[in-house]
Amino acid sequence: MRPWQLRVALLCGRVRHVEVLALRCCGYSVQAIAVDGRRTTVECARGRALWPGLAMLKARLRRCGVRQLLLLQPESHDEIIGRPGLREPDPGVWLRLS
């Protein structure tokens, strides 16, 4: 899905929320979660599914009409440096875009 397609889907009420997955050392992956539960990846550029920076990503999503997003980080800093991981998955953080 391209960003302009995300804007159309938001205007039509087909998107429940947007999730941003922080991937270690390679960027951010964005998924639009539809009302029926389907997940669609929002591409940065043609053929590129990863966004290089969070600031640019947030600005682009704001222009598309996204007002809040769920930021997920699958690996905590503790896991990266070798400490034991969490017993429960990280629920994520809701970020308001205004």
Helix (H) or strand (E) run with residue 31 in it: strand 27-34
Query: Which pLDDT does position 45 carry in this prediction?
Result: 81
Dihedrals phi, psi of 91, to nearest 5 degrees: -75, -10
Render pLDDT for 22-76 as a digit per residue (tens, 0 to 9).
887 788 999 999 999 999 999 988 778 888 988 999 999 999 999 999 998 876 6
pLDDT of residue 78: 56
- Angle, helix 54-64 to helix 3-11, in steps of 10 degrees: 40
Q: Which tokens go with 98? A: 């205004």
Q: What does pTM read for this prediction?
A: 0.79
Q: How many angstroms separate the CA atoms of 41 and 48, rounded?
A: 10
Q: Tokens for 61?
A: 């999503």
Model pLDDT, residue 91: 79
